[in-house]
Structure 1
Amino acid sequence: MARILAIDYGVKRTGIAVTDELQIIASGLTTVATSELLPFLKKYFSDENVELVLLGEPKQMNNMASQSEEGIQKFLKKFREQFPEKELKRVDERFTSKMAVQTMIDSGLKKKKRQNKALVDEISATIILQSYLYKL
C-alpha cells in the first residue's frame, strides 16, 4: 500500500500529515512555508509512495466556502498541473485549528508551545487525515 498525505493549506504556512504505508496511523509530518509547498511535495512524492492527497476544505458554518478558498483554488490548479497522476480529495476542515489547540492543551503543552502556529497547522493536518481514516 501507499501513504495518504493531508494538507492544511494556509496563506503563510501549510501543515502536512501522512499515514504509514498500511494507512493505519496518521502522523504530523511538518509545516512548510506555503511558497515552498509545491517543491516540497515534488521531493516528497519522489521519495515516498503516496496514493492519495487530502486537501482541507475550509467552510463557514452556513456551508459556504471561506475567504481562504480563493487561494486554495489557485494552489489546486498548480497542483493538478504538476501532479496530474495524483488523486486528490477535499475534506471539510471546520474546527480543526480549534481542535488542534485543544489537543495541545489536553496533552499538557505549555502556553508558549501552544502559541507555535506551525505546530497548530501540523496538528490540524493530522486531524484532517484522522477524520478521513475514521470514515473509511
Structure 2
Amino acid sequence: MGRILAIDYGTKRTGLAVTDEMQIIASGLTTVNTKDLISFLKKYVSNENVEKFVVGEPKQMDNTASESEVYIQKFLMQLTKSIPNIPIKRVDERFTSKMAFQTMIDSGLKKKQRQNKALIDEISATLILQSYMASNS
C-alpha cells in the first residue's frame, strides 16, 4: 500500500494532507505556494510511495461546479501530464474551509493563529482526505 495525498487547491496557496503507508491516519502535510505545487509534488512522489491523489471538488449548494473549478481543471491537466502514473480521485469539498476554521476554534487556537490561512488550507486538505477515506472504507 502507498500513501494517499489530498490536495485542497487554491489559486495562491494549496493545502496538502497525506495518509500513512497503511492508509489508516490522515495528517496535514504542508501548505505550498500554488506556483510551486507541481514541482513540490514531483519531488514528494519521488521520495514517498504515493498510490493516489485526492483533489477537492468545490461545488455550489445546487451541486453545480464552483467558479474555482476552472483553475482546478487546468491544474489537473498539468498534474496528469507531470505525474501520469498516479490516479486522481475527486471529493466534494463543500464546507471544508468552515469546518477547518471550526476545528481550529475547537482545538483552542488563539485568534491570531486562526488567521493563518495556510493552516486553514492544510486542515481543509486533511478534512478532504478524511472524507475520502470514510467513503471508501
TM-score under structure 2 length normalisation: 0.98
1:1-136 alignment, distance < 5 Å: 1-135=1-135, 136=137
- Which whole-Å CA distance do the structure 1 matches of 2:84 and 2:118 have between them? 28
Equivalents in 2 of 1:88, 1:132: separation in Å? 12
Return the letter of the residue paired with 2:131. S
> Structure 2 stretches of 5 or more lacking a match?
none
1:36-57 C-alpha deviation (Å, 9 max, x unpaired): 0000000000000000100000
SS state at 1:79 partner: helix
CA distance in 1 between partners of 2:104 and 2:82 (Å): 35
Deviations 1:50-86 (A, max 9, x none): 0010000000000000010000010011111111111
The DSSP-based 3-state class of the residue aligned with 1:51 is strand
Q: CA RMSD in A?
A: 0.4
The normalised TM-score by structure 1 is 0.99
Percent identity between the aligned chains? 71
- One-letter amino acid matched to 2:66: S
In structure 1, distance between residues paired with 2:52 and 2:101? 26
CA distance in 1, matches of 2:20, 2:109: 25
Q: Distance in 2 between matches of 1:15 and 1:78?
A: 17
**Distance of 1:125 and 1:104 partners within structure 2:** 14
Structure 1 SS opposite 2:4: strand
Aligned length: 136
**Partner amino acid, structure 2, of 1:111:** K
- Taking the aligned partners of 1:66 and 1:132, their CA distance within structure 2 comes to 20
In the aligned structure 2, how far is the partner of 1:30 from the partner of 1:82? 20
